A = this chain, B = another copy of it.
Amino acid sequence: MENVFADRISYVPRSFIREILKVTADPSIISFAGGLPNRDLFPLRELKAAANTVLDESGREALQYSSSEGDLELRNWIADRYKKKNKFTIHPKNILITSGSQQGLDLLGKTFLNEGDNVIIEEPGYLGAIQAFSLYKPTFFPISLDADGIKTDKLKQVLLNHDIKLFYCVPNFQNPSGISYSEKKRQEVAELLKEKNTILIEDDPYGELRFLGKDRTSFYNIIPNNTVLLGSFSKIVAPSFRIGWIVAKDEIMDKLIIAKQASDLHTNYFGQKIILQYMKDNDIDEHIDKIKKAYSGQRNAMVAAIQKHFPQGINYTEPEGGMFLWITLTEGLSALKLFEKAIRQKVAFVPGDPFYVDKKDVNTLRLNFSSVDEETIRIGIKKLGEVLKNY
């Protein structure tokens, strides 16, 4: 019955990571493959209190159908947070609550992409975005990253030669590379985009998790007319609620709400109410500081262990925040083959392949440091160093 399916579904890469996570479910394996926040840092007690407050104070409302836009008070909270943190003013009507940032990507694909439309994506790029957009059969233009963000000479050239509808980027502590755009790079990118019709999708799930250096300017600050901004509570509160949001101007928001309603009516409302209550009753900055302190220690442990145990000629990024670090092996080596060897030594990572739209058997790989404790990181990276030396 293969022919009964829509063409689009065959364009979506299977989730390689899902397959890998199955292999690494074995608890004897030290896994740097996941992309999970550290569950020990979830504010469990506080969320339990918040859930009880919601059910006591507005239980029947919290259990009923709700609006497609999302809870107004929660959208107000998000607007206030941007005002405080990023110094820009957003009206809550320009915020749409989504079922995680992943749904934000799907809604943007639905709203913007005709078959064959051109989409710039970072190389390596976020796998979830590649999957979400692939369903709408765009033409991808991957542009590689320097240590301070996307290669602007290449970006300029692509923008000059092609009509680009979307430019998707994760400017803070990118998944998978851990790279952040410098202020200079942000200004350059903004300069290239500001006269264009291209929409920049600024996906920022990790922006609050900066543990080194100073916060950078959001593209929404520089070129608000070209920018759609995505945010999420998954990394600063807890992911299981699947609550993220999109910031977009009126005419885009109109379409996004239509797409949202057709996609799932609205995001689970009980979860929205719990997260809001949690933030009303607690100091979110204090909680985020705790996460940043932990991740900073884990990141430092990983960088130190790499310096100590990895052979010469292997490059690694030094992220200033977020959850990931990116390894580039000596040219010609295969991260997939390394994975096979590593798994036999009970250590796992994600080979780079799924983060590329048109490259196979690459020499890059992603390491996650947020979900493994420092001691285990040292043991795991040492093991991986040995596998590398024997490769």
Most chain B beta-carbon contacts within 10 A, residue among A114, A132, A263 = A263
**Complex contact B258–A9 (CB within 8 A):** yes
**Complex contact A259–B9 (CB within 8 A):** yes
Instruction: Determine whether A120 belongs to the interface, using a CB cutoff of 8 Å to chain B.
Output: no
Q: Which residues of B contact A118 (CB under 8 A)?
A: none
Q: How many residues of A contact B (CB 8 A)?
A: 76
| Contact of A271 (CB < 8 Å), options: B4, B52, B59, B271 | B271
A66 and B240 in contact, given A60-B44, A197-B4 (Cβ under 8 angstroms): yes
Q: Which residues of B contact A4 (CB under 8 A)?
A: 112, 165, 197, 199
**Complex contact B112–A265 (CB within 8 A):** no
CA distance A134 to B261 in the complex (A): 12
| Contact of A42 (CB < 8 Å), options: B60, B68, B265, B271 | B60
Instruction: Determine whether A383 belongs to the interface, using a CB cutoff of 8 Å to chain B.
Output: no
Nearest B residue to A15 via CB reads: B261
Q: Which residues of B contact A270 (CB under 8 A)?
A: 240-241, 271
Q: Which residues of B contact A147 (CB under 8 A)?
A: none
**Complex contact B42–A48 (CB within 8 A):** no
Instruction: Determine whether A47 belongs to the interface, using a CB cutoff of 8 Å to chain B.
Output: yes
Instruction: Determine whether A8 belongs to the interface, using a CB cutoff of 8 Å to chain B.
Output: yes
**Complex contact A110–B63 (CB within 8 A):** no
| Contact of A5 (CB < 8 Å), options: B103, B112, B240 | B112
**Complex contact B271–A197 (CB within 8 A):** no
Instruction: Determine whether A55 belongs to the interface, using a CB cutoff of 8 Å to chain B.
Output: yes
A6 and B263 in contact, given A66-B240, A240-B270, A258-B14 (Cβ under 8 angstroms): no
CA distance A61 to B268 in the complex (A): 19
Q: Mark A131-171, 1 if CB is under 8 A from B, else 0.
A: 11011100000000000000000000000000001000000
Task: State the oligomeric state as a number of copies.
Answer: 2
**Complex contact B265–A128 (CB within 8 A):** yes
Nearest B residue to A100 via CB reads: B264
Would you list which residues of chain A between 57 and 98 have a CB under 8 Å from chain B? 59-66, 68
Instruction: Determine whether A106 belongs to the interface, using a CB cutoff of 8 Å to chain B.
Output: yes
CA distance A283 to B132 in the complex (A): 40
**Complex contact A110–B135 (CB within 8 A):** yes
| Contact of A60 (CB < 8 Å), options: B39, B66, B135 | B39
CB distance from A323 to the nearest CB of B (A): 12
Instruction: Determine whether A18 belongs to the interface, using a CB cutoff of 8 Å to chain B.
Output: yes
Would you list which residues of chain A between 260 and 286 have a CB under 8 Å from chain B? 261-271
Nearest B residue to A59 via CB reads: B44
Q: Which residues of B contact A6 (CB under 8 A)?
A: 110-114, 117, 136
**Complex contact B242–A265 (CB within 8 A):** yes
Q: Mark A2-17, 1 if CB is under 8 A from B, else 0.
A: 1011111100101100
Instruction: Determine whether A99 belongs to the interface, using a CB cutoff of 8 Å to chain B.
Output: yes
CA distance A128 to B264 in the complex (A): 9
CA distance A95 to B52 in the complex (A): 31
